[in-house]
Amino acid sequence: MGIFRARNIFIALSALGAIWLGWLVANEYALSYASQHYLANGVVRIELPGGRKLDIAERYMYWEGYVKHGRWPKPKEGRVKVESFNFDALLPDLRPYRAEDDEKWQELGYGDKLHV
């Protein structure tokens, strides 16, 4: 009887481990897919204290988006009132984040990066 109980516990723990591992893989895939979607289509809508309204592509929010969260987060719905905002671009032509420029964004120091 003791052998059957140990085997059942082992099977149950193995099944729980497989479910947990499957959930981790599916969750990582979903977050990666969502991150790429927000990078391509995300727009941050803000309103400054003077009433000026700006729509900024999420690609220009490298520090606030990718560095802080480790992925590109979903922009908030609607317009958000803010006191200030960060803007990141590459010099000399103020390019936003693109995968082909990833090396420049990952470099230590400022290099070609502009943080405003």
Average pLDDT over residues 1-5: 65
- The predicted structure's pLDDT at residue 81: 92
Average pLDDT over residues 96-100: 86
Mean pLDDT of the chain: 84
Name every residue whose Cβ is closer than 8 Å to that of residue 59 and which is 6 or more positions away in sequence: 39, 42, 96, 97, 98
* Cα(104)–Cα(91) distance, integer angstroms: 10
Name every residue whose Cβ is closer than 8 Å to that of residue 116 and which is 6 or more positions away in sequence: 86, 87, 88
Q: What is the pLDDT of residues 51-77, one digit of tens each?
A: 899 988 888 888 888 888 888 888 888
